[in-house]
A = this chain, B = another copy of it.
């Protein structure tokens, strides 16, 4: 949840004059997205999402994010599409922040995904990976293996406050992953944050993917590992192999995994668990006073990391190697 910035009446009117989207009916701050301020904008033409990019987003990345949504929409993926200004651009300024209007996607995220949802997410992720091909802009992933140690150094000294032994666990894991991270797997555009919050369904049919503000160029199979972590565990942190199998089958039916990607799944899943463990740890230890957002508990990802460390072979994720 996040609505950080208030918009004044007059500046909103001037802002909307730059677009061809009809007369304002209403603007309501919505509890979606953690990094930005999001508003539901209704006009006599329809509904839109108006986003103000707050300081956690680097302005220089916005052409990548907005261009990617445009590119993926054009390739037929169901995702928000930037609405052009009369000038043809998609980026503007409102309330002193960079801002954009994007199309409104019907649907709701599911809070308790079932295997059927996981299968559809696998399918959609693979379609996104294929559709990303040919997108001209590049963005490095700051939150992959080389970024984790510096991130941990920002909070590592206090790791044991959260959970006894966490400092040692993370140091072990960083050493292992730095030595064993794969580099020769297929690369492309990844979503990098495809959690249940970011996938909409309408009557149990996937209706679209949202929130591309972590998207970047990286190993496609790392995106798979992020989803295994995000979609295939139960609220008690136990692994649900039925959901993982459904997800991986959904994915590989659209884009079959290479044997190297398949073999690398356990290490990629460990890396993905560590990545979210580290950002949650950092946020947990650095809650700003007066924050409107409750940070997410890092313990969930400690449990997931421990699970993946116990995995001996990719087949434990439920997909046989021969299906890839």
Contacts and interface: CB of A to CB of B under 8 A. Distances in A.
Interface of A: 1, 3, 6-10, 12, 23-32, 40, 42, 47, 106-108, 110-112, 200, 202-203, 290, 292, 294
Among A8, A28, A294, the one with the most B-chain Cβ atoms within 10 Å of its Cβ is A28
Nearest to A24: B108
Among A10, A31, A111, A112, the one with the most B-chain Cβ atoms within 10 Å of its Cβ is A31
Given A9-B112, A24-B203, A292-B292, 13 more contacts: A1-B3, A1-B29, A3-B31, A6-B111, A7-B111, A9-B110, A9-B111, A24-B202, A27-B108, A29-B31, A30-B31, A42-B106, A290-B294
A28 B32 contact: yes
Nearest to A293: B292
Nearest to A29: B31
Contacts of A1: 3, 29, 31, 292
A4 to B, nearest CB: 10
Among A23, A108, A202, the one with the most B-chain Cβ atoms within 10 Å of its Cβ is A108
A234 to B, nearest CB: 14
A28 B26 contact: no
A112 B25 CA distance: 18
A32 B27 CA distance: 11
Q: Top 4 A-B pairs ranked by shortest CB distance?
A: A29-B31, A25-B106, A3-B31, A28-B30
A290 B32 CA distance: 19
24 contacts: A1-B3, A1-B292, A6-B111, A8-B111, A9-B108, A9-B110, A9-B111, A9-B112, A12-B108, A23-B203, A24-B202, A24-B203, A25-B106, A26-B106, A26-B108, A26-B200, A28-B30, A28-B40, A29-B31, A29-B32, A30-B30, A30-B40, A290-B294, A292-B292
A112 B294 CA distance: 31
Given A1-B292, A292-B1, A107 B26 contact: yes
